[in-house]
Structure 1
Amino acid sequence: MTSDHAAGTTAPGPPAATAVAAGLRRRRQELVDAGPPAGRAWCEAWSAEVDDALGRLSAPAVADHRLAVVAVGGYGRRELCPGSDLDLLILHDRLEQPALEHVVRQVVYPLWDAGMAVGYAVRDRREAIGAVDDLDTATAMLDLRTVAGDRGLVQSVHVEVLRRLRQRPHRFLTALRRADDERRRKAGDAAEALEPDLKNGAGGLRDVQSLAWAAAALVGVRGLDALVPAGYLGAADRPRLVHARERLLTARVALHLEAARTAGAALRGKHEVLRLDLQDAVARQLGYEDRDEHSLAAHELLRELFLAARTVDHVHRRAWSLIDADLARGARRRRRPTEREHDDFELVDGVLRLPAAQDLDASGLPGRLFTALADTGAVLDRSSAARLRRHVEDGRPGWHWSDPERDRFVRVLWRGGVMLSALAELDDVGVLTAMLPEWEPLRGRPQRNPYHRYSLDRHAWHAVAALGDLVRRESWAAETLRLVEDREGLLLGVLLHDVGKAVGEPHAQTGVPLARAIATRMGAAPGTIDLVARLVRLHLLLPDAARRRDVTDPELLGELADAVGDRSTLACLHLLAAADGLATGPTAWSPWTASLLHTLITKVSAVLDDQDDAATASDREREAAVATVREAQRLAPELGADAALVREHLALLPTRYARSVSPRAVVRHTLMAAHAPGATEVRTRVTPGEDLAVDDGRVDELDVVALDHPGWFAKVAGVVALHAGSILAADAFSREDGLAVDTFKVRPPEGATGAWWVAVEGDLAEAAAGKLAIRARVLRQARAVTRRSGGGNDVPTTITAQLDGAGRATLVEVRTRDRVGVLYAIATALAELELDIVVARIQTLGREVVDVFSVRDADGRPLDEDHLGELHLAVAGAIEEVAGTT
């Protein structure tokens, strides 16, 4: 409802009104602290308190005038949650403006004084009825309830509103459908999102309310009950829908209560998204308990909510399929004739129904149904869904896997995203778990980390969909698929790659027997089962190496080639990694991570090609370096350098340099290092990124040449952080003449132009000359951001270290909350210990950063135990400082 007055313009009321406001504020806090359990009982208790307060506040007005104070919206339904707005309609019979203003001061102002967010409208009977042309007003008035005053006046408006909607349903239902679609698009899917929107998301509470409102225009009575005899809901749908609604409402109340307690007395503000940092507290409030380390209270809560939201979503979609058909074709009959048949299934009004004579135990029924749903894009009609669900719940399915059934299932999965709704239909009625009982633990299981956007089973579905879409849309994926010898094994490996998460970590190991069991149940060939198991076991191998290791290290490449074994398996792992990353989310997969993986795959493939020649790691390293040297010398004249100077530059650097950088970079560095820089001089050069868009930005390459000392990486990281850029990777090299040659992959902030790099390079020069207080500036900026964002420390800091594969350096991995200056803090701590950063890989995963450094001590050796202890202390302390906790 719209408000005629701003909430901050309250005027002092008479003593009675002041007492009512104080009492309402006190009673609200009592309910927050020790009221009924979260759920409908709490809402009704709070609604009753507000009813009582409004009755007292409006008593003088309703005694003197013909008017009514009306609850609308959620308050009208008695679903007033702790953080809900209070929506009111003051309905009158031709009162003058001065009298109305006095009523508003009497009724609404004290509610503001009580700290409530009040939206109100003041209308006479004609205005109220005319306002139903606005969708928000119409839906609010469908839930109206008289709190005080003339009930006859309210009833006459309610009857006329229903009559008008029933006379002109098309306009209202079309607007409601459009608003539903837009709301669901913006809020996302409550049935699978890590942080579900309990009210507005697809499958949320608003979907239930939408169906109740639609009933008013369809049958002239608001509510779910009216939709059952009208045929829009099945008799079995209503109890399922009500149960799901109550679960969602209970969680919403608990969320509001937790947000209120966290914020103290303040209850204003929208709290519809169950944020990650509130999930544990909400779960405890609702009585969930940790069963073990793999079944935490918050996991159980989210799983119930996901499954409840799926029920709401399915019932909502089925009902609206029929409503849409009526909008397009006029009033519906009890049973429309079949428009056409699809594989003996009947298609009518956009829904697929099983013929009455269909034998539910017929061989191949699940696969035929899956195919038909994917072919038509339809949903199951309510009676067919109810029949199938009862059949599954009775434990009578006689279905079994056969080669044709498995082939059909796999062919549909290969279609990509178009099969997702069909798969969801099978899941909703229990067909999927009837065919694959081992799948049940995955259903609705949350993945509570900041970069997974889907629940466990939906993540698997989306990974398969991504695979199918990739091989049709991306030329590299189509070429890679040609190398795959067992495509069924690849697809099943993608579907089952994360099944171990339902059992426990490390899921790449725990998932192997479960994946074997599922593939065996499906009747896959022994070779396919072995491939599926191998893909599950190795699915993290290449992505982890690309993000954490030096992808040019020949020892690493040999190790990976031995683990993978052949080019077909390598191709499978490449496609699996891409599909897995795309299904995980943009923080886990981007063109930058794709490019890292592609580079690694290319080099491992070359090793596999060379294995028949018994080439050693040293041979491969030497060959790669020689190729770079030759190409750099060839390019030198073209780029303004002398070939002899290129050779001298290369001779001063380790072999790793020649196999790590491009020939063009070799020439650039040669020119930058042609003359020795001064003691405080830094030389920089920026090469714009090509085809490496990340989100809406890009990745540029920054070359830095200066006299070598351990603090250079930290200074560059600090300056880039001050300018709101991000370092994604770095390679550092030391020449024998004491010159440092470093290359950084940098993502500028969105919208940055060439002027941004000019400013960065200028500050780097100031930093090199000791004229820029980097540490003080970074800390000030970090603390300013922390104050604006409210801080938060929901991501713990962990620091781990191990030898690299070749035993030549120590790999240090730091996981912590993403915040301004964290990379600078880590690099400064490493510099304090005089460690040489050889390679760095920087990744942001949601709220978490995962920074991996390959480091050596001042003598060029891996770190010993004492040094590692000091490293932990230094890095942890630096992160605490930049977080503003010390």
Structure 2
Amino acid sequence: MHRTYDSAQNHRTTDGDPDVTPTDTDTPPAGGPAGPFDFAAARSRLLARPGPGGAERRAALAALADDWLIGLYEASGAPSGTALVAVGGYGRGELSPRSDLDVLLLHQGSLDPALPERIWYPVWDGGAALDHSVRTLTEARTVAAEDLKAQLGLLDARHLAGDPELTAGLRAAVLADWRATAPKRLPELRRLCRERADRHGEVSFLLEPDLKEARGGLRDVTALGAIAASWLADAPRDGLEAAAARLADIRDALHLTTGRATERLGLHDQDQVAERLGVLDADTLLRQVYEAARTVAYAGDVTWRAVERVLAARGGRGRRAVRLAFPFTGAGRGTGAVARGAVERRPLAEGVVEQDGEVVLAQSARPAQDPVLPLRAAAAAAQAGLPVGYATVRRLAAECRPLPVPWPDEAREQLTTLLGAGESCLPVWEAMEAEGLIGRLLPDWERVRCRPQRNAVHRWTVDRHLVETAVRAAAMTRRVARPDLLLVAALLHDLGKGWPGDHSEAGEVIVRDVAARMGFDKADIETLALLVRHHLTLIDTATRRDPDDPATIDLMTKAVGTLSHLELLHALTEADAVATGPAAWSSWRASLVDRLVDRVAAQLAGDAPAPGPDSGAEPTVEQERLAVEAARTGEPALALLAQPHPEAFAAEPMGAELTLAIPDRPALLSTAAGVLALHRLTVRSAALRMLDPVGVGQVLLIRWKVAAAYGELPETDRLRADLRRALDGSLDVARKLAERDAAAPRRRGIKTPPPVVTVAPGGSSSATVLEVRAHDAPGLLHRIGRALDTAGVVVRTAHVSTLGADAVDAFYLTCSDGRPLTPERAREVAAQVQEALGA
């Protein structure tokens, strides 16, 4: 049935299925009921009839109430100059089985005090819940100005009976007031929405969600309608109407199941609600609730950001405000606004820029030719603490091709960079998931997406728990030598919950396949599989076995195998438990786990072989040639070998292998790293060693893997010339880098774990090994090198790795006489480097 309302004539027309049309016995006479009308019984008969439910049934309920209230109004002897008006959800013609009837008796001048009672009392006698008010137009506007909730209800005012011009005047005045005061009222509405979310949580993650008041519920749908009515912004509409209808249908079934006007979908009601809706089971019902709520919540996030931009743009920039009021139409594209400088755009990564507080694509970006672009944009956004623009995410989803299998190296790096951003990863992840990008990257994700966890210990659905675990793990990356493996294991550790059987065993099988598709090598795949298989072993053993029993230590030693695995498993265990909820982790549990880890580490260290030589792989013929050239000429010799991308990856940042040979002299490492930073080359890895190729003096050989942050690689001759100038002192690298940083616009970023600088015990028999774990940043290696130069130590060899957003570096240091540093001296150098990185 489709029922329309003509507010001017107040008559109804009905098309379609007559089964949900009130029968003559359910409809009060137009001139007033002959006796008390049993609305509750008529409503029950309507609800019991076979036929359509959902929106059609809600409209039929509203029509039944309309007929009754119109009859009561006409029988009351209401004079001219009055009108009966439906407001709120009833005004929208949407009545759930136990919804209140929200009505306003609007009048001009004085009014007989007994008139309202002649309408209200029969309603109460008829068994309906009534929310009523009696006001003049002026009074209604005054109350709306003082009470935001009242104003929102009046936005949906619909004429029922009486003077239609009076209702039309109310609607026009309320809408005009709302649009005029929207810059003041919308922030208040935003505050109310946040307070509701704080009180009631998020529909998408609760085992017993409040379908109306929690974030992503029906109240947020109403708020989005109010924003649209303000004309300042509108919500993305794809899927929103269907999501709102699904939540309303589930609320209807809940009302019918409980017989009460409840909004909370309790555990004890879910099976019956699922059965009434024809849904397979309660878990399937909850997944439908979660999916609908996420659609509503994401639409709200996008819309509120648009509102904030519009309000920020007001005050002398009206044209920009008008353009921003329609953020989903692609306004500005192709208009030349960017070229004329009307919009400020700051580069963040190749093909990615910041604009108006969001991450968008650069004009040169070619999504169809760059399948890594979604991950690169997401990682740049998360690291900058910014959201990805709605139109940008949709364009990436529409135009980007799937990643090849196995993934290219950059894709893995960008994924770990995204996860390593911590809390700011969450809104970016939600945006990508809303447009289907996560499912495209990780097909196994669909089995855990929106999957409820019927365990009071768990706060989140399975998929959100995985992302939350990665967020917690991001704060622990300084504790492990392979932060990339920790973050990926955190993201994947519960994927087995989408399959039958023990989820740890199923997850081990799944992660081997996923990690292989991601392009991890065999050793890393085995490590990830071990972490997933044993992600519960450590805490289970610590809480159920005696950590002083040698059998317990042997059990764990055999399970983890190496110290590296143990430190990864320790961090993953803590991140998993903290992300689960407060009941899963406590100081007592942490102490038990720490105690067990200490005992297992001691046994593994006792069984570990002595450290091997630190010289690294033997130099290649080309590297020896460069070293000989540098030794004979006394000048830097270098080879920059670009790594051409396949055609499908033409838009990726250009990568290269750089081999650099320089005759030994002070400050070589910091100078060379500084020159690379000046040329905007990002160091992905580096290995440094000393050679004496012709017996005339030592040459520093550095093998770099670098990538151009933007655009193309620098010319080899220019890079060599700048190295010469830096070495002879005519180019002050530190000053140039400082000037560039000062000139660059300051961007907000994320809070990252502080750098950790430690001396590795027993790392080498002939040198002191200094380990540095820090958040990667332009010029990081240059700053470390300067600190070591200032400390007056010799860097004999170095191994530098960039893993996602984290740098994990090891420097083999000696005194000027070639001996290892004393323990006290090593601690002093570590403190100097720590201070330099903390500046």
Structure 1 612/352 Cα, relative in aligned 2: closer, same or farther at 3 Å?
closer
- State yes or no: 1:486 paired with 2:482: yes
**Residue aligning to 2:284:** 300
Aligned to 1:660: none
Q: How does 1:66-81 map to 2 (within 5 A)?
A: 66-81=81-96
Separation in 2, partners of 1:72, 1:137: 9
Change (3 A) 1:159 1:425: same
CA change 1:47–1:608 in 2 (3 A) is same
Q: Does structure 2 conserve the Cα–Cα contact (< 8 Å) formed by 1:451 and 1:584? A: yes
3-state SS of 1:89 partner: strand
Structure 2 counterpart of 1:244: 243
Structure 1 equivalent of residue 620 of structure 2: none
Partners of 1:532 and 1:400 lie apart in 2 by 16
Using the TM superposition, give the Cα deviation of residue 498 of structure 1 relative to its aligned residue in structure 2, in angstroms: 0.4
Distance 2:48 2:571 in 1: 53
How far does residue 143 in structure 1 lie from its aligned partner after superposition?
0.8
CA distance in 1 between partners of 2:419 and 2:531 (Å): 18
Distance 1:397 1:152 in 2: 61
Rounded to whole Å, the distance in 2 between the matches of 1:592 and 1:19 is 73
Structure 2 distance, partners of 1:406, 1:19, is: 76
Corresponding position: 1:366 with 2:397: no
Q: Does structure 1 residue 197 correspond to structure 2 residue 210?
A: yes
1:168 and 1:119, CA in 2 relative to 1: closer, same or farther beyond 3 A?
Answer: same
Using a 3 Å threshold, how does the CA distance of structure 1 residues 53 and 550 change in structure 2: closer, same or farther? farther
Task: Tell whether 2:220 aligns with 1:207.
Answer: yes
How many residue pairs get aligned? The number is 554
Of 354, 360, 374, the residue aligned with 2:361 is 354
CA positional deviation for 1:361: 2.6
Q: Does 1:340 align with 2:345?
A: yes
Q: Which residue of 1 aligns with 2:195?
A: 182
Contact 2:504 2:533 in 1 (8 A): yes
How far is 1:378 from its partner?
3.4
TM-score (norm 1): 0.59
Cα deviation for residue 305 of structure 1 reads 2.4
- Are 1:326 and 2:310 counterparts? yes
Q: Partner of 1:318: helix, strand, or coil? A: helix
- The offset of 1:31, in angstroms, is 4.3
CA drift at 1:532: 0.8
Q: 1:496: Cα distance to partner?
A: 0.8
Instruction: Using the TM superposition, give the Cα deviation of residue 557 of structure 1 relative to its aligned residue in structure 2, in angstroms.
Output: 3.7
Q: Give the match's secondary structure for 1:371.
A: helix
When residues 197 and 470 of structure 1 are mapped into structure 2, their CA distance, relative to the original with a 3 A threshold, is farther
Whether contact under 8 Å (1:486, 1:528) holds in the other structure is no
Structure 1 residue 430, shift from structure 2 partner: 2.0
Q: Distance in 2 between matches of 1:550 and 1:409?
A: 39
The root-mean-square deviation of aligned C-alpha atoms, in Å, is: 2.7
Change (3 A) 1:345 1:411: closer
Q: Which residue of 1 aligns with 2:395?
A: 387
**SS in structure 2 of the partner of residue 575 of structure 1:** helix
Q: Which residue of 2 aligns with 1:654?
A: none
Alignment of structure 1 residues 486-565 onto 2, 5 Å: 486-565=482-561
Distance 1:327 1:491 in 2: 38
SS in 1 for 2:457: coil
Structure 1: 5+ residue stretches without partners: 1-15, 220-226, 261-266, 290-296, 472-477, 614-886
Residues 182 and 20 of structure 1: CA distance in aligned 2, closer, same or farther (over 3 Å)? farther
Q: Assess if the C-alpha contact under 8 Å between 2:393 and 2:432 holds in 1.
A: no
Structure 2 residue 462 is matched with structure 1 residue 462: no
User: Deviation of residue 310 (structure 1)?
Assistant: 1.9
1:427 aligns with 2:433: yes
TM-score scaled to structure 2, two decimals?
A: 0.62
* Secondary structure class of the residue paired with 1:91: strand
Measured against aligned partners, the alpha-carbon deviations of 1:702-734 in whole angstroms (never above 9, x if no partner) come to xxxxxxxxxxxxxxxxxxxxxxxxxxxxxxxxx
Distance 1:526 1:85, change over 3 A: same
Q: Which residue is equivalent to 1:171? A: 184
Any conservation in 2 of the 1:361–1:398 contact (CA below 8 Å)?
Answer: no
In 2 relative to 1, CA 356–89 (structure 1 residues): closer, same or farther, beyond 3 Å?
farther
Deviation at 1:194, TM superposition (A): 2.9
Q: Does the 8 A contact of 2:453 with 2:462 survive in 1?
A: yes
The one-letter code sitting in structure 2 at the alignment partner of 1:240 is: G
**Inter-CA distance 348–29: structure 2 relative to 1 (3 Å threshold):** same
Q: 1:118 to 1:545 in 2, by over 3 A?
A: farther
Q: Does 1:277 align with 2:268?
A: yes
Please name the residue that 2:298 is paired with.
314
In the TM superposition, residue 605 of structure 1 has moved relative to its aligned partner by 3.8
Contact conserved, 2:408 with 2:519, CA < 8 A, in 1? Answer: yes
In the TM superposition, residue 151 of structure 1 has moved relative to its aligned partner by 1.7
Distance 1:571 1:109 in 2: 72
- 1:375 & 1:415 partners in 2: Cα distance? 5
Q: Select the residue among 450, 453, 461 that pairs with 2:456.
A: 450
SS at match of 1:84: coil
Q: Which residue of 2 aligns with 1:812?
A: none
1:121-132 matches, cutoff 5 A: 121-132=133-144
Offset, 1:503: 1.3
What displacement does 1:495 show?
Answer: 1.1
* Corresponding residue of 1:702: none
Output the CA distance in 2 between the equivalents of 1:589 and 1:31: 52
Q: How does 1:801-816 map to 2 (within 5 A)?
A: none
Call closer, same or farther: CA 1:29–1:556 in 2, change over 3 Å: farther
Determine the C-alpha separation between the residues in 1 that align with 2:592 and 2:42: 59
Q: Secondary structure at the match of 1:79?
A: coil
Counterpart residue number, 2:569: 573
Kept after mapping to 2: 8 A contact 1:70/1:146: yes
Q: Which residue of 1 aligns with 2:753?
A: none
- Looking at structure 2, the residues matched to 421 and 169 of structure 1 have their Cα atoms a distance apart, in angstroms, of 26
Residues 205-227 of structure 1 show CA distances to partners (whole Å, capped at 9, x for unaligned) of 222221211122226xxxxxxx6
Using the TM superposition, give the Cα deviation of residue 65 of structure 1 relative to its aligned residue in structure 2, in angstroms. 4.8
CA contact (8 A) 1:460 1:496 kept: yes
Once the two structures are superposed, what CA deviation does each residue of 1:483-519 show, in whole Å capped at 9, x if it has no partner? x443322221111110001112210101111111111
* Partner in structure 1 of residue 277 of structure 2: 286
User: Would the aligned equivalents of 1:488 and 1:528 in 2 still touch at CA under 8 Å?
Assistant: no
Compared CA separation, residues 317 and 52, structure 1 to 2 (3 A): same
C-alpha separation in 1, matches of 2:521 and 2:227: 51
Q: Hey, what does 1:113 align to over in structure 2?
A: 125
Letter of the 2:354 counterpart:
L
CA distance in 1, matches of 2:503, 2:538: 16
Q: Which amino acid aligns with 1:215?
A: A
What is the CA deviation profile of residues 273-300 of structure 1, one whole-angstrom value per residue up to 9, with x for unaligned ones? 32222222222221122xxxxxxx2222
SS of the residue corresponding to residue 64 of structure 1 reads coil
**Do the aligned partners of 1:447 and 1:456 also contact (CA within 8 Å) in 2?**
yes
Determine helix, strand or coil for the equivalent of 2:205.
Answer: coil
Alignment of 1:726-737 (within 5 A): none
1:27 to 42, 45, 56: 42
Shift in alpha-carbon separation, 1:59–1:547, aligned structure 2, 3 A: farther
Cα deviation digits, residues 316-342 of structure 1 (max 9, x gap): 212221211111212423346432233
Name the CA distance, whole Å, in 2 between partners of 1:399 and 1:198: 41
Q: Which moved more, 1:517-526 or 1:348-357?
A: 348-357
Matched, 1:410 2:436: no
Q: Partners of 1:399 and 1:70 in 2: how far apart?
A: 62
Residue 148 to residue 377, structure 1, CA distance change in 2 (3 Å)? farther
Per-residue deviation, residues 222-277 of structure 1 (Å, max 9, x unmatched): xxxxx6xxxx44xxx324211221122212212222222xxxxxx24xx2232222
Q: Which residue is 1:731 aligned to?
A: none
Distance 1:21 1:411 in 2: 69
Write the letter of the residue equivalent to 1:124. Answer: T
Change (3 A) 1:400 1:197: farther
Equivalent residues of 2:388, 2:428 under 8 A apart: no
Q: Against the structure 1 CA distance between its residues 555 and 22, is the aligned structure 2 distance closer, same or farther, given a 3 Å change threshold? A: farther
Tell me how far apart the structure 2 counterparts of residues 397 and 597 of structure 1 sit (CA, whole Å). Answer: 39
**Shift in Å, 1:607:** 4.9
